[in-house]
Amino acid sequence: MTEDPTPSGLLLRQGNPLGGRVAQAEMRASNMGLLLRHLRSQGGRSRAQLASETGLSKATISSLIAALAERGLVREGEPVRDGAVGRPGLTVTLDGTYVAGVGLQINVDYVALTAVTLTGTVVRESVLPVDVAHLGADIVLDRVATMLRRTLASLRESRTDVVGITVSPPGVIDYAAGALRFAPNLGWRNVPLTEALSRRLGADAPPVHLENDAKLAAVAEYDRMARDGIRDLLYLTGDVGVGAGIIAEGRLVRGWSGFSGEVGHLPLDPGLTPCNCGRRGCWETVVGLAAFLRSAVPEGDSLRDPARPIADRLLTLRARADAGDERTLAALAAIAERLATGLGILVDVLNPRMIVLGGYYGYFREYLLPALEAKLEARLIDEGCRTLLATSELGLTASALGGALLSLEHVFDDPTVVAGR
């Protein structure tokens, strides 16, 4: 059963309306997906357990498992006694060692690629410095295509089936058109990324999807946090641009046209600094990476040189902070002060369980979190709504990882996207 794309009724906490006309084959694919999700969330179990837990007949379960096993998505392992009389059953476990998703992150000055298997192993990871903001979309996409072709070829050699590629530009997605609407910090508008990349990759390549970078980083963090029962999470990118990925009750909040989480443009700078988006006084002009570098690094200092890798520059600044450098510490204190105002707003609107600060914020955990925690604590309305704060440990390529994970989700929607082996 698939979710109804246009339910006319009320919203619901649980359960979804049935879809329209669902063909038998689609029904079967959907049940395969449900079984796969069940194995992921509940862990390995016997056929008898699966039948009793899902309400599907044992014959149906057997047939679905055979179809999943043929695709390398499940395997049957050691015997399990589940209280039933008779022969012990074999445990059916989620597999997918040879099924991978790819995430491709395009940022202002680099491109990152991550491939993850269904079992959660990162099997490819690479970062390529590219002056994206100045080269123009065509040249950038040529390089991205080369990077992808190499990865796909090497995964093919190791007999791994890539089910999808999710590309994440730092901007807003037009999902229906498969295009990037607007990426202020690249200066790109209305770039048909899906078509442009698919054409370069050729007809044999896996399908290309698009998703916003902040949303994908939230997906990557959620994949870790959900294990601890966190279902409401906000991820804040800490780059030249600042954006939020919002997850509410385990679901990505995209907004009606993909513009959710454009928090970098909240009107929180009383100095009304001009922003790349066309407005003045946007939050990212005072808490973004460019603002931090401007205030932390004296003019003429080599750390202002955009040709030096950003990770090196941030590590140097971290070392300066640790050595007690006053200018660096003052810059961090100012960032914390201005971050707190915006985070307070996001807490009031969304009541997330956890806010994860990504990007450059992750380099300054000890200088930012205590100050932010104190400020949020001071404005707590009630004991019952405390938000946890963390910095991301996923570094600057969290969106590539999130893209790989989201690519894999298509397998759970329809396991028949994986070819039989």
* Residue 419 DSSP symbol: P
Q: Is 251 in the site for a copy of itself (CB under 8 A)?
A: yes
**Residue range at the interface with a copy of itself (CB under 8 A); choices 33-41, 142-150, 156-164, 365-373:** 33-41
The correct pick among 75, 149, 200, 231 for binding a copy of itself (CB under 8 A) is 231
Name the residue among 2, 50, 5 with its Cα closest to residue 26.
2
CA 231 and chain centroid, separation: 14
> What is the pattern of x (binds a copy of itself, CB under 8 A) and - over residues 369-388?
----------x-xx-xx---
Report the site for a copy of itself in 277-316 (rule: CB under 8 A).
277-279
At a CB cut-off of 8 Å and minimum separation 6, what does 218 contact?
233, 234, 235, 244, 245, 246, 247, 252, 356, 402
Among 8, 87, 204, 323, binds a copy of itself (CB under 8 A): 8
Least separation in angstroms between residue 105's CB and a copy of itself is 18
**Which residues 114-173 are close enough to bind a copy of itself by CB under 8 A?**
172
Q: Does 17 bind a copy of itself (CB under 8 A)?
A: yes
122-129 and 161-168 strand pairing: unpaired
Q: Which is nearer to a copy of itself, 32 or 297 (CB)?
A: 32
- Of 226 and 417, which CB lies nearer to a copy of itself in the complex structure? 226
Q: Does 323 bind a copy of itself (CB under 8 A)?
A: no
Quick one: which of 248, 334, 390, 417 contacts a copy of itself (CB under 8 A)?
248
Q: Nearest to residue 123, comparing CAs of 169, 156, 84?
A: 156
Smallest gap from residue 15 Cβ to a copy of itself (A):
6
Q: Which listed residue (97, 126, 259, 416) binds a copy of itself by CB under 8 A?
A: 259
Residue selected from 19, 44, 192, 395 as contacting a copy of itself according to rule CB under 8 A: 19
Whole-number Cα distances in Å, 76 to 60, 91, 344, 414 = 17, 5, 49, 21
186: contact with a copy of itself by CB under 8 A: no
The burial of 270, by beta-carbon neighbours within 10 Å (0-12 exposed, 13-18 middle, 19 or more buried), is given as exposed
Does residue 355 sit in helix, strand or coil? Answer: strand
Within 10 angstroms of residue 23's Cβ, the number of other Cβ atoms is 8
Q: C-beta of 400: minimal distance to a copy of itself in Å? A: 16
DSSP string, 108-141: SSEEEEEEEETTS-EEEEEEEE--HHHH-HHHHH
CA–CA dist 73, 75 (Å, integer): 7
Which of 90, 253, 369, 389 is in the footprint of a copy of itself by CB under 8 A?
253
Residue 331 or residue 406: which is nearer to a copy of itself going by CB? 406
Counting Cα atoms < 13 Å in the Cβ hemisphere of 372 gives 28
CA distance 237 to 241: 7
Q: How far is the CB of 291 from a copy of itself (least distance, A)?
A: 18
The Cα–Cα gap between 335 and 357 comes to 13
Shortest distance (Å) from residue 125 CB to a copy of itself? 19
Site for a copy of itself in 39-68 (CB under 8 A): 40-42, 52-55
H-assigned helices in 283-325: 284-287, 289-296, 310-322
| Identity of the residue, 1 or 330, whose beta carbon is nearer to a copy of itself in the bound complex | 1
d(CA 204, CA 60): 33
Select from 260, 285, 391, 392 the one that contacts a copy of itself (CB under 8 A): 260
Through-space distance between the first and last CA atoms of the chain, rounded to whole angstroms: 26
Q: Which CB sits closer to a copy of itself, 222 or 367? A: 222
- Output 22 or 330, the one with its CB closest to a copy of itself: 22
